[in-house]
Amino acid sequence: MHLRVLGCSGAEFPGHHPSSFLLDGLLLLDAGTIGAVLTEEEQLGIRDILITHPHLDHIRGIPLLADNIILKGSRNSVNLASTGEILAAVRTHLLNGVIWPDFTRIPSPEQPVLRCSEIFPEREFSLSGFSVTAFRVNHSVPAVGYRVTKDGRSLLYTGDTGPTERIWELAGDLAALLVEVSFPNDMEQMALLTCHLTPRLLERELAKMASLPPQILITHLKPQYYDRIRGELAGIPGVKIMQDGDVYEL
């Protein structure tokens, strides 16, 4: 798998884009950043978007992607995949004809720019040549993480989560783990209140895994606390902080 980091920050500042990870040019893990990074041709190559939860920094690229597709005159259709409650939140609060046109019905209900596919946690399904399984995680809104497998190699993306259980129990053998750390250790109460992780909380989560993957890639740092979090993560063996623009071959 070819993994390209379009954005991996927990807030937006110059040089820090919200969460979005592109696999093999076809499949997006979250969509906080699309058009600010990808060319028109690259945007038209996207076939599926796996949404972990409906917070704006993980879905905000979707409306503008749809707009770019229809303005190009392309007949591309992009599939939005997530649980029913997450898709309902996206349609009700974002693609609602007020905040943005409902591209699940444009240019026609029969051939829309955006299609929605409901998935179910812990049931494997296929997208763009990948095998995918969703697992519920602990966040302030309904949220899932995803295990994505191709050619016998798997990555696990937690999305946003606080301390959780099931995703670690069923993680399996992984080539890489993409896991969030949003706050420094002295903000643990804020992290727990908002269902995020600190470096210390991350260590406790990693201890729940049967075995650690060779690559533990950290995402969603709040740029305001970047240096503090980086210093605290330095004490955890095997972790690496991702940067916007990074590319990994898994």
DSSP assignments along 218-236, one per residue:
EE-B-GGGHHHHHHHHTTS
Q: Does the residue 250 lie in any domain?
A: no
Q: How far is CA 39 from the centre of its chain?
A: 20
Share of the chain above pLDDT 90, in %: 98
In 3D space, the residue among 19, 60, 17, 67 whose CA is nearest the CA of residue 44 turns out to be: 67
Q: Does the residue 248 lie in any domain?
A: no
User: Long-range contacts of range 241-246, CB-CB < 8 Å, 24 or more positions apart?
Assistant: 241/217, 242/5, 242/8, 242/178, 242/217, 242/218, 243/5, 243/8, 244/5, 244/6, 244/7, 244/8, 244/9, 244/15, 244/16, 244/17, 244/37, 245/5, 246/4, 246/5, 246/8
Which pLDDT value is given to residue 2? 98
Q: Which domain holds residue 91?
A: 2-243
In whole angstroms, give the CA distance from residue 32 to residue 20.
5
How crowded is the C-beta side of 191, counted as CA atoms within 13 Å? 27
Domain of residue 177, CATH code: 3.60.15.10
Which pLDDT value is given to residue 56? 98
In tens, the pLDDT along 67-118 reads 999 999 888 899 999 999 999 999 999 999 999 999 999 999 999 999 999 9
Q: Does the residue 136 lie in any domain?
A: yes
In 3D space, the residue among 70, 74, 9, 62 whose CA is nearest the CA of residue 35 turns out to be: 62
In 3D space, the residue among 210, 233, 144, 219 whose CA is nearest the CA of residue 177 turns out to be: 219
In whole angstroms, give the CA distance from residue 28 to residue 24.
9
Q: Does the residue 249 lie in any domain?
A: no
User: Does pTM surpass 0.95?
Assistant: yes
Q: Does the residue 212 lie in any domain?
A: yes
Q: Does the residue 28 lie in any domain?
A: yes
**Range 7-23 average pLDDT:** 97
Which pLDDT value is given to residue 229? 98
In 3D space, the residue among 16, 23, 4 whose CA is nearest the CA of residue 229 turns out to be: 16
Tell whether the model's pLDDT for residue 181 goes beyond 90.
yes
Q: Are 223 and 16 in contact (CB under 8 A)?
A: yes
Which pLDDT value is given to residue 75? 82
Q: Are 239 and 229 in contact (CB under 8 A)?
A: no
How many domains would you assign to the chain?
1
For the chain, the average pLDDT equals 97
**Range 4-12 average pLDDT:** 97
Q: Does the residue 194 lie in any domain?
A: yes
Q: Are 193 and 215 in contact (CB under 8 A)?
A: no
Q: Are 47 and 79 in contact (CB under 8 A)?
A: yes
